[in-house]
Structure 1
């Protein structure tokens, strides 16, 4: 067990999700955005997503509506792809637009194909525009395209901070504190950066009017609620996949989800 201890780090094998979607849809969203850049003014008539059978047939992946909660849009390939085409990005707020007519109409024209010739995490997309022009895109890198590097972590941290209203200087200060942690005498600067970013984000949320309406939760409250909802949804999926009494190790002493060895959705 001690072989290569201190030389080889499992953390380097961690992949990340650049969008708030199921990991099956990382490449789907990236592919739609790439196709959209090829024809920014085109109208999408139909989109076909070829996926590995394990992914295409997974619970919720084919669902194209109606949508009432985040766990449904999170798992839906048609919704994630449609949102990417309509907005040119996929963010947390967009994933909660359950009644967006443009997204729903497009999602209804997106097909998910269970294709045994497709490898895991390497979907192939075929888009047809209103002029009958077909364009294709295929993921070449697989999950290795999403290995967590320092630059990827900084980019993702910046994107997340932007979504919850943290000003860019505060986000950069947090990244700088994390970068200097190995040389710092303590973690106080990193903790201060986190606190300052949180306060700045809360203040920006109040100023934007989100917190002034009693019928609307702040974005921070929605994040907490959605996290609980997503964990519950994942646990339900695991029960269906494994059968009664086969959940195994799920939660450690700190309450964190444990899933090792076998990749799946999430």
Structure 2
């Protein structure tokens, strides 16, 4: 398995991607950079040593060490949980891959095309591994981003630094040592979820450094009888069983860019709640709220968090009851609600929210039904949040400007970043945040 994955990483070309995937790649890059810029105030991890640093940080400074920059930037990019995600693999790839490559680009003479190819390789591997495993391991508390995204970071860094298939294979095997993380943080209101992405990004650089230093990884570290897959599933998995998932175009085209700073699962809940808001009138007349969801999404740890005491952002962003109550109380999503802002209307609505499973409902969909005190039932529904909240080049500019303004950055800085991303395929070097 490792040798086949490594071969695909080394052979991938931007020309292999569909036009839609190449466009999506640039869009994902710009979106993740933007939520990273806006995520600085919400990062729970310390800023790395900056004195004498040259590895750019999303906070505007520069870290002394490449691994430290990747570690911190990944946490910042994920701090609003607004970075893109794969709904089947249940993981965040971009927020791990991009920070690792930002650091590597400072030491490697990468063209823009090579940078994009490395990102595509990372998405292919992270999502290729996770799509088979995640539906089986997520219900047990395994966080896919912590376990499977590190392989994407390693693949991306190996590609960017020009490793051959043999060394890439060693680096991928060594990644099994550092992969890990559970979803208990969503239930405890703790900060491990930011460490998951930080560790994953740093792992990409560390595993490649080790491989280049001559440290070897097992040929069957993934598919062996005591390897990664067997340890998680208690069964052998061959590459033939998962090869169809290693499609870089599909990985990019099916990524979900989040319009809202809540969990990927709750994107559909927020949109459905917003759609029913205009029908309500007086929120005091609400008697009962029902949220219908896909059973797998409903069962994701944290989705049923109901409080009444929420200790941290991590508990609120995952909670379907909190999301729907907050939106109905204000008529739209108000981000400060998720960071401790008080709202008596929201607090009154929370206890009357009932989340139920609908086996016929696909992922990325939700229905919010409100029973009023006069007996009327009002509904709002999302059929496919990936399509219905989809950001494209006609909408991402306004969305991105808003995020950069929120971070106190000038709109012209966002415009320069957007221009840099759009011109990467022709650029001789990587410069994502050009000065005036």
Aligned partner (choices 278, 291, 294) of residue 52 of structure 1? 294
Distance 1:167 1:46, change over 3 A: farther
Query: Partner residue of 1:33?
Result: 274
Q: Aligned equivalents of 2:332 and 2:415: distance in 1? A: 22
Whole-Å separation in 1 of the counterparts to 2:414 and 2:370: 37
The structure-2 alpha-carbon separation of the partners of 1:63 and 1:178, relative to structure 1 and needing over 3 Å to count, comes to: same
Query: Whose Rg is larger?
Result: 2
Aligned pair 1:97/2:336, yes or no?
A: no
In structure 2, runs of 5+ residues without a counterpart are 1-7, 22-248
TM-score where L is the length of structure 1: 0.61
- Matches for 1:163-202 after TM superposition, within 5 Å: 163-182=406-425, 186-188=429-431, 190-192=432-434
Verify the 8 A CA contact 1:64 1:104 in the aligned structure 2: no
**Partner of 1:143 in structure 2?**
386
RMSD: 2.9
Q: 1:159 to 1:99 in 2, by over 3 A?
A: same
Shift of 1:173: 4.5
Instruction: Give distance in 2, aligned partners of 1:150 and 1:123.
Output: 26
For residues 127-181 of structure 1, the C-alpha deviation after alignment (integer angstroms, 9 at most, x for no partner) is: 1234432112222235343555323433432232233233445444443444455
From 240, 253, 262, the equivalent of 1:12 is: 253
Q: Which residue of 1 aligns with 2:357?
A: 114
Q: How far off is 1:27 after superposition?
A: 0.9
Q: Secondary structure at the match of 2:268?
A: helix
- Specify the SS of the correspondent of 2:404: helix
The 5 A counterparts of 1:113-132 are 113-132=356-375
TM-aligned CA deviation for residue 20 of structure 1:
1.2
Q: 1:37 to 1:168 in 2, by over 3 A?
A: farther
TM-score normalised over the length of structure 2 = 0.39
Any idea what the Cα deviations from partners look like across 1:188-245, whole Å, max 9, x if unmatched?
Answer: 4x4136xx8xxxxxxxxxxxxxxxxxxxxxxxxxxxxxxxxxxxxxxxxxxxxxxxxx
Q: SS of the residue aligned with 1:107? A: helix
Note if 1:72 corresponds to 2:315: yes
Q: Which structure is higher in helix share? A: 2
Distance 1:75 1:60 in 2: 5
Q: Is the 8 A contact 1:13 1:148 kept in 2?
A: no
In the alignment, structure 1 segments of 5+ residues that lack a partner are 197-266
Please state whether the residue corresponding to 2:258 is helix, strand or coil.
coil
Q: 1:94 to 1:158 in 2, by over 3 A?
A: farther
Residue 203 of structure 1: aligned partner: none
